[in-house]
């Protein structure tokens, strides 16, 4: 445990209450304690970072100058949740009646995204998106914008106001979609992506991703140029984010479009898009050789269970992704608007059902690991976010252990913290989060008159 350097005069801030965090992967470390749990913890923050964590009785005496402490009862303090795959540009179309993935894209998604050429529309959607995710305790997300510069600027501008650590970028797509969304040419689209990358990557907590939507909507030339852009900036922490192996119809389409490639993963690999900062959404119907590639390259995988169920494509198999001989980095994704809500805990309830449909079960320890530290690992940020420990960024969610009268009563019958969390993810309360801290500032407070506040106002 570190204490405050003498030279740092920035004020200390504390959060006190029951707390839980993960320190290792419970899919791989059977029998080992993968989490830390405190009945009465004190988390000490300074200048956006955690500087001390532990039992209140031990930690408090180390910080005699700490007087500003938020104390929570009937609550659980956790690292902020991490959403590894979401489309902020689809907030206005959640719950659209659908058919197959490809029909649903044509009917709802593409017309909605076309409206983001209008900056005011993009600004409004970004505002709504951040309020939704912050009210659900999500503090980092890996986010699709859409074709237009306006869609990227609107997103990062709002993220800057909250000082959230976010990953996003312009979506590259130059074929098999309406003209209103289509990039004018591979060269122009990738030049625009590079311009936005140079504008936003590393500005405050913002990070950029090169985002080919998915192989069927990108020409060979665009995929090749996207791969070159990614490789040019990968050492500076730029990401590649796309969809992979989601649904049978999609996989068949890719096979017809790229007949020379052995697998869907191979399509991305041949264009230089499969590497250590690549994040693949879905990965439901994956061949063994593809898992091996994703493992070997250190790719992140986003499990989006409510989308699996809503769009009825494929169903994620965590036991394949986490096979002990070649485990992959896996986190959770809401995949809004294919996913049906913004809550990572509710996704965990759906993850359990997706597994049970395939005669497997997944417990709350593994679920909440995926929601926090697992997500950070999928994004290669496991030394920065996703854990309550000194040196980590102070992104924190405070869960309500009495979100409804019934849930509070029901939890009275649960013995361990993981029994309680399993009940909570199963009941799926919509107001599960009391407060959300971003870089140490309480940007969401369910009990405050002004529930949401920008970082500069705090
Ligand atoms: Zn998606």
Tell me the pLDDT of the chain (458 aa) as tens digits: 444 444 578 999 999 999 999 999 999 997 779 999 999 999 999 999 999 999 999 999 999 999 999 999 999 999 999 999 999 999 999 988 877 778 888 899 999 999 999 999 999 999 999 999 999 999 999 999 999 999 999 999 999 999 999 999 999 999 999 999 999 999 999 999 999 999 999 999 999 999 999 999 999 999 999 999 999 999 999 999 999 999 999 999 999 999 999 999 999 999 999 999 999 999 999 999 999 999 999 999 999 999 999 988 899 999 999 999 999 999 999 999 999 999 999 999 999 999 999 999 999 999 999 999 999 999 999 999 999 999 999 999 999 999 999 999 999 999 999 999 999 999 998 899 999 999 999 999 999 999 999 999 99
**Distance in Å, CA 302 to ligand 1 centroid:** 10
Q: Which candidate, 306, 400, 325, places its Cα nearest to that of 83?
A: 306
The pLDDT, as a whole number, for residue 4 is: 47
Residue 398's SS3 state is strand
- SS3 of the chain: helix, strand, coil, percent, to 5: 40, 25, 35
| Residue 99: C-alpha distances to residues 16, 102, 284, 310, 336 (Å) | 47, 8, 18, 9, 16
Q: Are 209 and 183 in contact (CB under 8 A)?
A: no
CA 442, CA 15: separation in Å to the nearest integer? 11
| Residue 319: C-alpha distances to residues 82, 284, 355, 359 (Å) | 21, 12, 9, 11
Superfamily of domain 81-378: Metal-dependent hydrolases (3.20.20.140)
Q: Are 347 and 332 in contact (CB under 8 A)?
A: yes
**Distance in Å, CA 338 to ligand 1 centroid:** 7
**Distance in Å, CA 281 to ligand 1 centroid:** 6
Range 12-79+387-457 has CATH code 2.30.40.10: yes
Give the orientation angle of helix 119-135 with respect to helix 149-162, to 10 degrees. Answer: 40
> Any idea which residue has 């597994």 for tokens?
355
**Distance in Å, CA 431 to ligand 1 centroid:** 25
**Distance in Å, CA 420 to ligand 1 centroid:** 30
Against a cut of 0.85, is the pTM above it?
yes
In sequence order, what are the beta bridge partners of 409?
none
**Distance in Å, CA 30 to ligand 1 centroid:** 32
Delimit the CATH 3.20.20.140 region(s) of the chain: 81-378
**Distance in Å, CA 433 to ligand 1 centroid:** 25
The pLDDT, as a whole number, for residue 7 is: 53
**Distance in Å, CA 86 to ligand 1 centroid:** 6
The pLDDT, as a whole number, for residue 100 is: 77
The pLDDT, as a whole number, for residue 6 is: 43
**Distance in Å, CA 213 to ligand 1 centroid:** 8
**Distance in Å, CA 69 to ligand 1 centroid:** 39
**Distance in Å, CA 289 to ligand 1 centroid:** 23
Delimit the CATH 2.30.40.10 region(s) of the chain: 12-79+387-457
Q: Are 44 and 50 in contact (CB under 8 A)?
A: yes
**Distance in Å, CA 347 to ligand 1 centroid:** 14
CA 155, CA 152: separation in Å to the nearest integer? 5
**Distance in Å, CA 323 to ligand 1 centroid:** 24
């Amino acid at each position: 445990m570190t204490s405050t350097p003498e030279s740092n005069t920035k004020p200390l801030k504390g959060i006190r209450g029951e707390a839980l965090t993960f320190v290792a992967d419970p899919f791989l470390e059977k029998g080992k304690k993968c989490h830390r749990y405190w009945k009465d913890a004190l988390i000490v923050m300074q200048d956006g970072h955690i500087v001390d964590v532990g039992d209140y009785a031990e930690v408090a005496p180390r910080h005699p100058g700490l007087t500003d402490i938020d104390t929570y009862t009937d609550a659980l303090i956790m690292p902020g949740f991490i959403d590894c795959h979401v489309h902020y540009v689809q907030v206005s179309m959640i719950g659209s009646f659908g058919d197959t993935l490809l029909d649903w894209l044509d009917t709802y998604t593409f017309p909605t995204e076309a409206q983001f050429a209008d900056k005011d529309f993009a600004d409004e959607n970004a505002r709504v998106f951040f309020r939704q995710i912050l009210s659900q305790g999500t503090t980092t997300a890996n986010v699709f914008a859409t074709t237009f510069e306006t869609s990227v600027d609107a997103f990062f501008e709002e993220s800057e106001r909250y000082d959230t650590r976010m990953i996003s970028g312009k979506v590259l797509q130059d074929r098999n979609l309406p003209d209103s969304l289509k990039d004018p040419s591979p060269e122009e689209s990738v030049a625009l992506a590079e311009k936005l990358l140079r504008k936003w990557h590393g500005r405050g907590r913002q990070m950029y991703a090169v985002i080919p939507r998915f192989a069927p909507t990108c020409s060979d030339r665009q995929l090749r140029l996207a791969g070159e852009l990614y490789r040019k900036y990968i050492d500076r922490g730029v990401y590649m984010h796309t969809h992979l192996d989601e649904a049978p119809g999609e996989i068949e389409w890719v096979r017809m479009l790229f007949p020379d490639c052995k697998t869907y993963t191979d399509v991305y690999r041949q264009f230089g898009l499969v590497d250590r900062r690549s994040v693949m959404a879905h990965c439901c119907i994956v061949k063994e050789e593809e898992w091996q590639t994703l493992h070997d390259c250190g790719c992140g995988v986003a499990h989006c269970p409510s989308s699996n169920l809503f769009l009825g494509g494929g169903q994620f198999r965590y036991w394949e992704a986490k096979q002990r001989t070649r485990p992959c980095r896996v986190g959770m994704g809401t995949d809004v608007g294919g996913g049906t809500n913004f809550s990572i805990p509710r996704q965990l309830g759906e993850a359990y059902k997706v597994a049970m449909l395939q005669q497997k079960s997944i417990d709350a320890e593994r679920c909440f690991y995926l929601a926090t530290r697992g997500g950070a690992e999928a994004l290669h940020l496991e030394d920065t976010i996703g854990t309550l420990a000194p040196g980590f960024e102070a992104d924190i969610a405070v869960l309500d252990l009495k979100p409804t009268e019934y849930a509070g009563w029901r939890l009275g019958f649960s013995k361990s913290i993981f029994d309680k969390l399993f009940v909570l993810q199963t009941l799926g309360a919509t107001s599960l989060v009391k407060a959300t801290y971003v870089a140490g500032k309480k940007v969401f407070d369910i009990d405050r008159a002004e529930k949401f506040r920008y970082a500069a106002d705090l």
